[in-house]
Amino acid sequence: DQQVKQNSPSLSVQEGRISILNCDYTNSMFDYFLWYKKYPAEGPTFLISISSIKDKNEDGRFTVFLNKSAKHLSLHIVPSQPGDSAVYFCAASDGTSGTYKYIFGTGTRLKVLA
């Protein structure tokens, strides 16, 4: 059972436009979410996080929105740059578990076209 899903396996966006990556989850106990960027054969690189007590967090070009009632979060990248081309994973954790383990989504491959 995939608790964290990214339903779009790939996304292409023109340079300078907005990229919107979506993530859905099923476990209502998840209370902390991360977005990671990953290149092939490398470990993930942390981008931005959001706690369930917030509905928005912004860091430079990256903004994450959380809709708890819909169990949905999204990552907005604006403006998109060719260097943003990578696979993006969302990850979720349940703080009450005490382990802080993260469950990853299936990933979305973003391609930013110059």
Instruction: Give the residues lining the site for other proteins (CB under 8 A).
Output: 2, 4, 9, 32, 34, 36, 41-46, 49, 51, 89, 93, 95, 99-107
CA 32 to CA 2: how far, in whole Å? 17
CA 37 to CA 83: how far, in whole Å? 11
- Shortest Å, Cβ 18 to other proteins: 23
Coil/strand/helix, residue 78: coil
- Shortest Å, Cβ 65 to other proteins: 17
CA 8 to CA 108: how far, in whole Å? 6
- Shortest Å, Cβ 71 to other proteins: 17
Task: Considering the complex, state which of residue 17 and residue 56 has its C-beta at the smaller distance from other proteins.
Answer: 56
